[in-house]
Amino acid sequence: MRVLITIIIAFVLQSCMSPDKKRVFEAESSNGLVKLHFNLSDEGEPYYLVMRDNKTVIDTSFLGFEFKNTAAFDKNFIIKNTETKTFNETWQMPWGEQLDVENNYRELKVMLQEKVSPERFLNIVFRVYDDGVGFRYEFPEQARLKEVEITEEHTQFNLTQDYKTFWIPGDWDIYEHLYSTTKLSEIDALKYVDHVNLAQTYIPENAVNTPVTMVGDDGIHLSFHEAALVDYSGMTLKVDTEKLCLESHLVGSQNTDYKVKRSLPFHTPWRAIQMTDNAPDLITSNLIVNLNDPNKIGDVSWFKPMKYTGVWWEMHLGKSSWDYGMEMVDGQWLDTGKAHGKHGATTENVKNFIDFSAKHNIKGVLVEGWNTGWERWIGFEDREGVFDFVTTYPDYDFDEVINYGKEKGVDIIMHHESSAATETYTKQQDTAFALMQHYGIHSVKTGYVGKILPKGEYHHGQYMVNHYNTTVEKAAKYEVAINAHEPIKATGLRRTYPNTISREGLRGQEFNAWAQDGGNPPEHLPIVAFTRMLAGPIDFTPGIFNIKFDEYKKENQVNTTLAQQLALYVVIYSPIQMAADLVEHYEANPEPLQFIKDVGVDWEMTKVLNGEVGDYVTIARKERLTGNWFLGSITDENARELEVDFDFLDANQTYIATIYKDGNNAHWNDNPLALEIETITINKSSKLTLILAEGGGCAISLIKN
């Protein structure tokens, strides 16, 4: 792995400097566009400002903490000394949207001490990039502070405009909300408190979850998030709609009267602000991964990015079921003759998926509902001890399925639905991962549906952050990669633990199968691309060809055209991409299936060719091994014509371009299946006008000629 690092460190030792208004502590990004100022108020309160292109983007914003066990960190500080550093490296993603990542920042570290007893210490580290700012708090080892019980972190982001904001509520238990688009001053998260679709939800404040993205009148684009969330609780942002100020509001627990407990020394996650001139640059910004530590688990070549099919959509449609119809008798699951015959994960059904996948260049098959416990999955208070992660239902033969897959070159993807019963899952993990290792299975989809057990914990609090992270670390020891559903948000930890391959953490495709509110509207993914996707890979599970599925559900449908379903393989990034529809629906549509067969999953380079948050986006990605390019373009409920210049292609190379586009009169609701496929030759000097229908899209494979 090629890594170039340049570090220049300057120490400025300013022993016991008194607060000095005239003196400003600054850092400036390498191109000079982004500038950060730090100082203390007359009362010794820490604050910062951020300027971009000589405009104040974050105005005076105060920083501090409240504790249960000790006096607050909010004032009476002096600056003991400061350090500045210039850092520039190029690191490589083992799999990802691109191979080489430039990480180029200027760092300002401010070391504070209280000027009154008990004279405790706090450091704040700022990293200033051309595409934004990250900062975190360091609690250094010190004699008069050994442990903190944080009741609240007070990190402010004081904004200077009433931005157009794309947000979901600051739910402590789930991110599966539709995005709202309002002015910052009009955010009202509390109106989502009673949500019909969710097995768990808790929204205590007018706060939003991150990433939250904003567009200014002057064209500036901002997105607020956090990076490297480890042994801490998730941060929501409380909205002061009058002052246009966001402030950290940490996720808590009903079991403790603090939100985070840590022994010193430790540091918090990074608080991150992406800042760009336009929407496409938000997607190509690497701020979040760059703020994370380098790979700690070494070689992960045992995980191969792949497309997969699976026993999944059929359960969401109600064609088959996860459970078999067993009964729990004296704590044991028994086949008492009550099998209902609808069980999906049968040996035969899985073999059918293996056959189909082998034929169509798809390397994985996910099998949900293979293990005992699903009869008492959802809606039960007492879910501990219900699921078992090694015992199969009677009609599923693990050895047979694995051997059949091996013969055909197809891997099984494991599924562990914990039903949020974390103690049972934690206890069984070693055995469950060892079973996977025995069968040569290298990835697992985990699930956390329901209210967390132990009672009183939330999905996004410190307890669960630690559960999700220790699961990833433990899995790495068994060469297992994790795709978590009902996860903690992605915060770029895939850089440090590259066995963190994908996750849900948004309203995924499944909502289209059963949501009582009409599913995901056409604007959903054009918002997701500029919000949730900035955090990291998404297991969205695209590729539904039978858009209306009236045979199964008359009330539900996918709210896009078929062409958009293809485009999502390029637009939505994940190193594992599901071909989510039923085998029979693909077999009835061999022509569009060709795109799924061809499309890559691991990229050397990504170009975002155009886009506006919530409206449309066009992305082109170059496949690592072949050098072929793939393009995806999607729009919201509005039809559009988008000019694409292919000047990103390699020089002196022609490509056979197969274009999958919305047909005449295509429309997400009235005519979603109208698709036209055209093959032409394209090179670096080509230009095309993509014509997207309402809720439509366009997918292009560009195969080297």
Active site residues: 510
Q: What does 59 bind: Ca ion, ligand NOJ, none (CB cut-off 5 to 8 Å by kind)?
A: none
Measured from the CB atom, is 323 or 504 closer to ligand NOJ?
A: 504
Which DSSP string corresponds to 400-439? HHHHHHHHHT-EEEEEEE-TTBHHHHHHHHHHHHHHHHHH
- What is the distance in angstroms between the CA of the first residue and the CA of the last residue of the chain? 30
Q: Binding of ligand NOJ at residue 447 (CB under 6 A)? A: yes
- CB nearer to ligand NOJ: give 472 or 688: 472
Contacting ligand NOJ within 114-143 (CB under 6 A): none
The yes or no reply on residue 45 touching ligand NOJ (CB under 6 A) is no
Give the rounded distance of the alpha carbon of 296 from its chain centre: 20
| Residue with smaller CB distance to ligand NOJ, 283 or 472 | 472
Hey, which residues between 178 and 217 contact ligand NOJ (CB under 6 A)? none
Contact status: 323 vs ligand NOJ (CB under 6 A): no
* Euclidean distance between CA atoms 471 and 430, whole angstroms: 10
**CA–CA distance, 536 with 704 (Å, rounded to integer):** 29
| CB 504, min distance to Ca ion, A | 23
Contacts 24+ apart (CB under 8 A), 319-324: 319/344, 319/552, 319/582, 320/344, 320/349, 320/369, 321/369, 321/374, 322/368, 322/369, 322/374, 322/377, 322/417, 323/369, 323/374, 323/375, 323/377, 324/369, 324/372, 324/374, 324/375, 324/393, 324/394, 324/395
Is position 504 an interface residue for ligand NOJ (rule: CB under 6 A)? yes
Residue 97 interacts with, from ligand NOJ, Ca ion, none (CB under 5-8 Å by kind): none
Least distance (Å) from ligand NOJ to the CB of residue 175? 11
The listed partner (ligand NOJ, Ca ion, none) that binds 510, CB under 5 to 8 Å by sort, is: ligand NOJ
Q: The tokens of 18 are what? A: 């008194």
Question: 398-408 and 347-359 are packed helices; what angle lies between their axes, rounded to 10 degrees?
Answer: 10
Cβ contact 655:704 at 8 Å? yes
Binding site partner of 171, from ligand NOJ, Ca ion, none, Cβ cut-off 5-8 A by kind? none
CB 257 within 8 A of CB 152: no
Q: Look at residue 173 and give the partner it binds from Ca ion, ligand NOJ, none, a contact being a CB closer than 5 to 8 Å depending on partner kind.
A: none
Cβ 215 to Ca ion, closest distance in Å?
A: 12
Q: Which does 615 bind (CB under 5 to 8 A by kind): Ca ion, ligand NOJ, none?
A: Ca ion
Residue 302 DSSP SS3: coil
CB of 535 to ligand NOJ, least distance (A): 17
488: CB partners within 8 A, 6+ apart: 229, 234, 459, 460, 464, 465, 468, 505
Pairing of strands 576-578, 306-311: parallel
* Smallest distance, ligand NOJ to C-beta of residue 413, A: 12
Q: How far is the CB of 417 from ligand NOJ (least distance, A)?
A: 4
Question: Is residue 312 close enough to count as binding ligand NOJ by CB under 6 A?
Answer: yes
| Dist. CA 60–CA 38, nearest whole Å | 9
Number of residues near ligand NOJ (by CB under 6 A):
8
Contact residues for Ca ion (CB under 5 A)?
A: 523, 614-615, 636
Residue closest to 534 by CA, chosen among 613, 456, 589, 598: 613
Q: Which residue has the tokens 């990605």?
A: 621
Question: Does residue 211 have a cis peptide bond before it, meaning omega lies within 30 degrees of 0?
Answer: yes
State which of residues 510, 523, 615, 623 lies at the interface with ligand NOJ (CB under 6 A). 510
CA gap 152, 303 in Å, rounded? 39
Identify what 504 binds: Ca ion, ligand NOJ, none; CB under 5 to 8 Å per kind.
Answer: ligand NOJ
**The entry of Ca ion, ligand NOJ, none that residue 614 binds, CB within 5 to 8 Å by partner kind:** Ca ion
**What, of Ca ion, ligand NOJ, none, does residue 479 touch, CB below 5 to 8 Å by kind?**
none
Binding track over 95-114 against ligand NOJ, x by CB under 6 A: --------------------
- Report the distance separating Cα 604 and Cα 628, nearest Å: 10
* Binding partner at 447 among Ca ion, ligand NOJ, none, C-beta below 5 to 8 Å by kind: ligand NOJ
Query: How far apart (Å, rounded) are the C-alpha atoms in residues 389 and 412?
Result: 15
- Report the C-alpha gap between 216 and 166 in whole angstroms: 12
SS (H, E, C) 626-656: CCCEEEEEEECCCCEEEEEECCCCCCCCCEE
What minimum distance in Å lies between the beta carbon of 352 and ligand NOJ? 19
- In the complex with ligand NOJ, the residue whose CB is nearer, 39 or 422, is 422
The whole-angstrom separation of Cα 647 and Cα 695 is 27
From residue 353 to residue 372, the character string flagging contacts with ligand NOJ as x (rule: CB under 6 A) and all else as - is: ---------------x----
Nearer to ligand NOJ, 152 or 539 (CB): 539
Considering only residues 259, 485, 624, 640, which one is a binding residue for ligand NOJ as defined by CB under 6 A? 485
Q: Is 449 a residue that touches ligand NOJ (CB under 6 A)?
A: yes
Is residue 541 within 8 Å of 523, Cβ to Cβ?
no
* Shorter beta-carbon distance to ligand NOJ: residue 459 or 485: 485
Least distance between Ca ion and beta carbon 263 (Å):
47
* Nearest CB to Ca ion, comparing residues 41 and 278: 278
Three-class DSSP labels, 239-276: EECCCCEEEEEECCCCCCCCCEEEECCEECCEEEEEEE
Nearer to ligand NOJ, 277 or 388 (CB): 388
The β-bridge relationship of strands 132-139 and 266-267 is antiparallel
Smallest gap from Cβ 378 to Ca ion, in A, equals 34
Whichever of 198 and 677 has its CB closer to ligand NOJ, that residue is 198
Is the Cβ of residue 150 or residue 367 nearer to ligand NOJ in the bound state? 367
Shortest Å, Cβ 636 to Ca ion? 4
For the chain, the C-alpha Rg in angstroms (whole number) is: 26
Residues 399-418, mask of contacts with ligand NOJ (x by CB under 6 A): ------------------x-
Which residues bind to ligand NOJ, rule: CB under 6 A? 312, 368, 417, 447, 449, 485, 504, 510
